[in-house]
Amino acid sequence: MADKDLNKLFHETLKDIYYAERKILKALPKMARGAQDPKLKAAFEKHKDETEGQIERLQQVFELIGKRPQGKTCDAIEGIISEGEEILDEFKGEPALDAGLVAAAQAVEHYEIARYGTLKTWAQSLGLNEAVTLIDQTLAEEKKTDADLSKLGETAANLKAKKAA
């Protein structure tokens, strides 16, 4: 039985975020279709393209550690995506829909930022310099997406939702 050391923890967390990214990739088109604001639709579509690249980078990290790319069910992302789907259903056609979608998307981003930040730190500790570079690229994209979502929320979605109140 393998020791439960940082290498094992890194691998298990990598499987978690790999599963999460693939799940997010499937959810983004539905979010884009549901969004009312064209800028929010475009943001979801852009992030779908980025997510495809992030999955490819994760596959490279798996390769670097000599493991095949494999996901393991991530209950956290399942719950976050489920909440986003509830917002889509409950607020369809309503002024607050986009504000809710921004909030749901930011919950996803915050989860990803937490995971990638941890993986980057562990990769540094393990001397996986190529993995650090790959993970850091994704971490930067996730932080930018979060900032872009904040801007969309503050300049459009939240205002529209508030005016309707």
Mean pLDDT across the chain: 95
As a dihedral over the C-alpha atoms of residue 103, residue 53, residue 123, residue 14, rounded to 10 degrees, the angle is: 70
Based on its alpha-carbon atoms, the radius of gyration of the chain, rounded to whole angstroms, reads 17
Angle at the Cα of 119 from the Cα atoms of 118 and 125, rounded to 5 degrees: 95
Residue 72: pLDDT above 60? yes
Give the position of tokens 């969004």: 35
Kindly report the pTM of this predicted structure: 0.94
DSSP state, residue 156:
I
State the average pLDDT over residues 59-84: 97
Fold of 6-163: Ferritin (1.20.1260)
Confidence of residue 127 (pLDDT cuts 50, 70, 90): very high
Domain residue extents for the chain: 6-163
What is the mean predicted confidence (pLDDT) over 4-22?
97
106, 150 Cβ separation under 8 angstroms = yes
> Is residue 109 within 8 Å of residue 146, measured between CB atoms?
yes
Which amino acid is present at 143?
K
